[in-house]
Amino acid sequence: MAVKLHATERGKGPPVVLLHGLFGSGSNLGALARALQEHFSVFSVDLPNHGDSPWLEDADLAAMAGTLSAWLQHQGLARADFVGHSLGGKVAMQLALARPELVSALVVADIAPVAYPPHHDTVFAALDAVAAAHCRSRQEAAELMQGYLQEEQVIQFLLSNLRPAGDGTYRWRFNLEGLKRGYHAVRAEPAASGNYPGQVLFIKGGDSDYIRAEHRSHILHLFPRAQLKVMPGCGHWLHVQRPSLFNSLVSRFLRDVAT
């Protein structure tokens, strides 16, 4: 893979790689990075087509896992722990299944290794509307998106990816057309010819339906040493809604498997 991912590093110790969700960037897990930096070298990575990382023509799970593999080699890392939320969790699972020797341990936040139906139609419509309008301020973009999206938290999250274009207008930092084109591929189940034998922690938002009871057998088939923790009082954005609890669960797990 020729793509060189953008990443920031903090702390000292065994390497931990943090992977964000769809439409996000490495900074989304900043609170977790700060919580881990006392004991780990923490790498916050922008996935392909996101943040400041290059764009890929075909960014399916295997291609994104391949970029991570190449990035690890470029960093001189033989293996690392991985923490992934949502899409980042799927990419981390794909890497663990394809190249288990590269993954020391794995934390998957509120996603399962299954195919999901499309449910971002209104998000893509809002993003397209902003792109077509050539908005000249974030407020203009926010008002436009309110015609499509009801949750202010989602709007503000997406707006964090809006950047000045140099001509007085704002444009999306991520590869919107590439994300639309590859949306079906990232919703797919990770490909697997075997299982991942390492330790895995799945963390589910108590109010989220991304990880369901019917997923349990498939999770254990692919990740036989998996354990599940449920965070009550939060949904899919569990790391934002209850950061202290989320950070504590991840830190405790990673420190336990390191001993």
* Pair 210, 110: CB distance under 8 Å: yes
Known catalytic residue at 236: yes
**Nearest CA among 135, 143, 127 for reference residue 180:** 127
Q: Which of 78, 112, 92, 101 is nearest to 198 (CA)?
A: 101
∠ CA 86-230-97, rounded to 5°: 45
Q: What angle do CA 39, 242, 116 make, to 5 degrees?
A: 100
161: left (phi over 0), alpha (psi -120 to 50) or beta: alpha
Catalytic residue among 50, 85, 236, 239: 236
Q: Which of 41, 44, 53, 86 is catalytic?
A: 86
Which positions are annotated as active-site residues?
86, 236
